[in-house]
Structure 1
Amino acid sequence: MTQPKLIVFADPKRPQAAGALDQFLAFVAGKAQVLANCLDAGCPLDNLHQADFAVVFGGDGTILGAARLLCESEVPVIGVNVGKLGFLAEFSLEELESQFERIIHDKSLIEKRMVLRCGLYREGQCISTGKAVNDVVFSAGAPFNMIELKVEVDGQALVSCIGDGMILSTPTGSTAYNTSAGGPILAANLSAIVLTPVCPHSLSFRPIVIDADSRVEICPVKVNDNTTLLMDGHVQHRLIANDMVVVEKNEGKFLVVNNPMRTQWDTLASKLKWADKPKYATP
């Protein structure tokens, strides 16, 4: 039987990631071929499409970085939690080892999730592009006056958002910043985009969910000196008035290997205490 080809990502800033990686490499010796350790030795981009799976040791930030890199090759990601929350890290190291054969061979565990593509245009010229697995965020920045964002969807004027910014979230990212800002939680395998205002200067401005094939154009009409465009929490570019940001669905998908021992809703309940029962006093 042909051995699966793996690319391994490990966060070198986490000492526990190095220990987990060493243990995993010893475990898969003779069971799989490890093509590269992408974070420690630099990632050979030519090897990405050759991999059957990417095993990522770290927290959600490490997994998001790997997912952005791998989405065009659509290599399935196996997330191993050695971080804190680890919402996207489906497996503990023990679970990965005990379920390894099933994970490698059961294709039903692989779930395709949408990714956003974003382009920043200034005076008609594209000056920056990027991808987001979780979200694209417009942040007011210092000196933290309210900003104004003009939003169009498929060429139709939607709204002018006055407030602290806006979040454009994927279903995967709907449980991240979007939830903290009062946006809805979406099933991770949906294709949709959530538009959630951040502290809007309006009592009636509620988040909306639009079709994933929509083209969203956002023009910052009024900005601060440090108003920024962020993708998955990383500053992409500082914005100035009359820039144009175009957000669309990316063609390549984020392929994640789900843990057969739990569902998305189990993870929501255990890690974010979603729908947690009230703690009643014992009579």
Structure 2
Amino acid sequence: IISAARFLSQTNVPVIGVNLGKLGFLAEFSIGELREFFERIISRKVLIEKRMMLGCSIFSDGKEKFCSAAINDVFITAGAPFRVIELKIAVDGQPLAGCVSDGLIISTPTGSTAYNLSAAGPILSPKCQAMVITPICPHSLSFRPIVINADSKVEVSGIRVNEGTTVSIDGQLSAKLAIGDVVRVQRHKGDFLVVNNPLRTQWDTLATKLRWAEKPKYNRDAILP
């Protein structure tokens, strides 16, 4: 679905996610629900939601060597030989922080429930216009994820990296990051369109697929003193 959404964003054609068995957070329809709502989808009588994307470029000695759009996230991983790496982060030209860690994630609201969530980043509503910067296992107890404006421009410079340090787009496309390279991430000029399932809200999806805010399973038979 992610690669299809990245491709279809150039055509203004909405994505219909159909769940065929895995978690499928973007796959809002079961096969039965697709059959039920097919006519409404074709006639566009369902809610079609715009979601923001990220644009990522990598520069080496001032020359662009890689460029791609991202649906979920742009992330940098330390790679082999798996020593911590050091990155310098700037937002809108202002230094934000140095980051000694296993990597860094820059996420869209859609991607906030993906790698960002596993790295203890916040969940954003898909309708938010924002980005999340989340460190991966930072060597600092106080370096917490931060939410920034969607129109911000983020620059990440490689200060100390490994031979295998990589910049990844949605976990599908990748490019090597060398010392001195600069990764520029900003809002992509286009959005991607996704068809919402009329039977559930975004909060229903969080609850059913990620068990968000699930109540503890109390022992009703417990004998209190």
Partner of 2:71: 133
Whole-Å Cα distance in 2 between the matches of residues 83 and 122 of structure 1?
Answer: 42
More helix by share: 1
Q: Does 1:216 align with 2:154?
A: yes
1:225 is matched by which residue type in structure 2?
E
Q: Does 1:270 align with 2:225?
A: no
Kept in 1: contact 2:40–2:46 (CA 8 A): no
Q: Does 1:120 align with 2:37?
A: no
Q: Does 1:162 align with 2:100?
A: yes
Kindly report which structure 2 residues correspond to 1:190-205, keeping only aligned pairs within 5 A, or say none.
190-205=128-143
What is the SS of the residue equivalent to 1:184? Answer: coil
Structure 1 unaligned runs (5+)? 1-62
Whole-Å Cα distance in 1 between the matches of residues 92 and 140 of structure 2?
Answer: 24
Kept in 1: contact 2:71–2:170 (CA 8 A): yes
1:148 is matched by which residue type in structure 2?
E
How much has 1:107 moved relative to structure 2?
4.9
Whole-Å Cα distance in 2 between the matches of residues 279 and 205 of structure 1?
Answer: 33
Whole-Å Cα distance in 1 between the matches of residues 45 and 63 of structure 2?
Answer: 42
What is the SS of the residue equivalent to 2:24? Answer: coil
State which drifts further: 97-106 or 190-199: 97-106
Whole-Å Cα distance in 2 between the matches of residues 82 and 148 of structure 1?
Answer: 40
Deviations 1:115-139 (A, max 9, x none): 0000010011001101110000000
Partner of 1:59: none
Whole-Å Cα distance in 2 between the matches of residues 215 and 88 of structure 1?
Answer: 26
RCO (CA 8 Å, sep 6+): is it higher in 1 or 2? 2
Deviations 1:215-250 (A, max 9, x none): 111101000110000000024111110101100101
Kept in 1: contact 2:122–2:145 (CA 8 A): yes
How much has 1:193 moved relative to structure 2?
0.5
Kept in 1: contact 2:84–2:102 (CA 8 A): yes
Q: Does 1:90 align with 2:19?
A: no
Deviations 1:162-187 (A, max 9, x none): 11010000000000010000000000
Partner of 1:26: none
Q: How high is the sequence identity, in percent, across the aligned residues?
A: 60
Runs of 4+ in 1 over 6 A off after TM superposition: none
Partner of 2:120: 182
Partner of 1:111: 49
What is the SS of the residue equivalent to 1:251? Answer: strand
Deviations 1:38-85 (A, max 9, x none): xxxxxxxxxxxxxxxxxxxxxxxxx00001101122211111111411
Kept in 1: contact 2:13–2:193 (CA 8 A): yes
Kept in 1: contact 2:131–2:149 (CA 8 A): yes
Q: TM-score, normalised by structure 2?
A: 0.96
Whole-Å Cα distance in 2 between the matches of residues 234 and 106 of structure 1?
Answer: 30
Deviations 1:138-170 (A, max 9, x none): 000111111011001111011111110100000
How much has 1:103 moved relative to structure 2?
2.3
Partner of 1:22: none
State which drifts further: 190-199 or 92-101: 92-101
Structure 2 unaligned runs (5+)? none
Whole-Å Cα distance in 1 between the matches of residues 48 and 158 of structure 2?
Answer: 38
Partner of 2:192: 254
Match of 2:39 among 101, 106, 110: 101
1:103 is matched by which residue type in structure 2?
I
Whole-Å Cα distance in 1 between the matches of residues 40 and 169 of structure 2?
Answer: 33
Whole-Å Cα distance in 2 between the matches of residues 87 and 94 of structure 1?
Answer: 17
